[in-house]
């Protein structure tokens, strides 16, 4: 079955589809940097870089889709307009990108379509003929004559993905197709962080505001551990943090936040205490899936980003100490996102860029499980 991928970014969602027996033959992405990287990862897929709301680009996609015989549309429009992590501005222009998706479904009449976004997407209103309408009602009004529309909210942790990530998933089936597309049943066992990164040896963070001698005084095995990590993957590189944050997290137990640690409470550069939510400066738990990975996943001070760590004993003052006082590495994020270890991202890709892309994506193992329902 042949797929048209819209808002494809660098193709996180598509990582397992070829192995599952599908062929992504055509893709569309607005941002040239992302489109170029997509083409490096998926050289067999034709990429049309440009704005789908531009009529010339849209007609190009239609023409190429018809020539290729598209069976399925995969659409993951930007979620920032609806996401709670964004500003949630009413009538955000990004929310209107559902219209070209609907138009493409109407024009191409594929057998199936897969639309994915944040759960708040289903509570978002757009303008249709000057009237407000919720996106689920919009889909029903514009597609229900020719298509069955199945709307779901799922948590990817229920599909063998080691990450708690709620998504709205809309499965569209053309009415003349006997096999209707439905979300698969949940997996019986939840995959934890221990399952996917528990076998990796500890890594010390790079402390960017100290000298090398000071770094080695704090972490005598820094370079040995770094070399071992890079031997596992070029993306398993020690994250960089400032000393005050590292020291705070060295004394913060697994699953806990430093805001509950009066002696090693997070402080600013001037020594004043940090104010923030208890979801920040927080270590993850080994026994659970990771929390939702966000675009801002390189910071200790962002939400639920810190490695679980392991107890290593007491320091000279009698305070508990834990390993891995750092954010997850890119390699660990790939494991949490269920990306394959051998996903062919060029090693010269910017780490910060790659991190943000991982924070935007939908776990590809979940996508694979949904698409396998069509086989």
Element at 134 (helix H, strand E)? strand 131-134
Q: Take residue 135 and report the two structure tokens written for it.
A: 């996106």
φ and ψ of 20, to 5 deg:
-80, -5
Hey, is 23 helix, strand or coil? strand
Q: Which of 17, 79, 154, 365 is catalytic?
A: 79
Six-digit token pair at 134? 């919720």
Residues 148 and 180 sit within 8 Å (Cβ to Cβ): yes
Has 79 been annotated as catalytic? yes
Measured CA to CA, the distance from residue 102 to residue 117 in angstroms comes to: 14
**Count of other CB atoms within 10 angstroms of residue 144:** 11
Distance in angstroms (rounded) separating the CA atoms of residues 205 and 298: 12
Closest CA to 202 of 329, 312, 324: 324
Residue 35 has phi, psi (to 5 degrees) of -60, -40
As a whole number of angstroms, the distance between CA 25 and CA 6 comes to 12
As a 3-state breakdown, the chain gives helix, strand, coil percent values, each rounded to 5, of 30, 20, 50
HSE-CB for 273 with a 13 A CA cutoff = 11
Q: Which backbone phi and psi does 125 adopt, to 5 degrees?
A: -105, 145
CB of 122 closer than 8 Å to CB of 27: no
Burial class (CB in 10 A: 0-12, 13-18, 19+), 173: buried
Q: What one-character-per-residue DSSP string does 54-72 give?
A: SHHHHHHHHHHHHHHT--E
Active site residues: 79
């Amino acid at each position: 079955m042949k797929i048209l991928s819209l808002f494809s970014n660098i193709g996180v969602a598509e990582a397992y589809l070829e192995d599952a027996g599908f062929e992504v033959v055509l893709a569309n992405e607005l941002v040239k940097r992302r489109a170029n990287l997509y083409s490096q990862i998926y050289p067999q897929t034709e990429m049309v870089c440009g704005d789908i709301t531009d009529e010339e680009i849209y007609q190009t996609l239609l023409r190429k889709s018809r020539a290729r015989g598209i069976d399925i549309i995969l659409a993951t429009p930007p979620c920032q307009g609806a996401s709670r992590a964004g500003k949630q501005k009413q009538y955000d222009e990004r929310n209107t990108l559902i219209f070209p998706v609907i138009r493409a479904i109407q024009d191409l009449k594929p057998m199936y379509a897969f639309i994915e976004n944040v759960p708040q997407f289903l509570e978002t209103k757009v303008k249709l003929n000057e009237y407000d309408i919720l996106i689920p009602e919009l889909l029903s009004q514009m597609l229900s004559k020719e298509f069955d529309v199945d709307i779901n909210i799922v948590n990817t942790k229920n599909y063998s993905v080691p990450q708690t990530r709620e998504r709205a998933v809309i499965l569209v089936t053309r009415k003349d197709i006997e096999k209707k597309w439905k979300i698969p049943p949940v997996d019986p066992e939840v995959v934890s962080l221990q399952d996917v990164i528990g076998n990796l040896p500890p890594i010390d963070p790079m402390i960017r505001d100290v000298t090398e001698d000071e770094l080695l005084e704090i972490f005598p095995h820094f370079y040995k551990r770094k070399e071992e990590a890079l031997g596992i993957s070029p993306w398993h590189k020690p994250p960089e943090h400032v000393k005050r944050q590292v020291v705070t997290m060295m004394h913060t137990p697994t699953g806990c936040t430093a805001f509950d640690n009066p002696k090693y409470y997070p402080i600013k550069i001037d020594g004043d205490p940090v104010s923030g939510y208890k979801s920040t400066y927080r270590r993850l738990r080994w026994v659970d899936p990771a929390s939702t990975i966000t675009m801002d996943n390189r910071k200790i001070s962002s939400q639920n980003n810190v490695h679980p760590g392991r107890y290593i004993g007491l320091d000279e003052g009698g305070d508990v100490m834990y390993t891995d006082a750092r954010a997850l590495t890119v390699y660990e994020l790939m494991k949490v996102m269920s990306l394959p270890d051998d996903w062919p991202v060029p090693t010269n890709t910017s780490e910060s860029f790659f991190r943000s892309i991982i924070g935007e994506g939908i776990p590809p193992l979940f996508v694979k499980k949904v698409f396998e329902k069509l086989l």
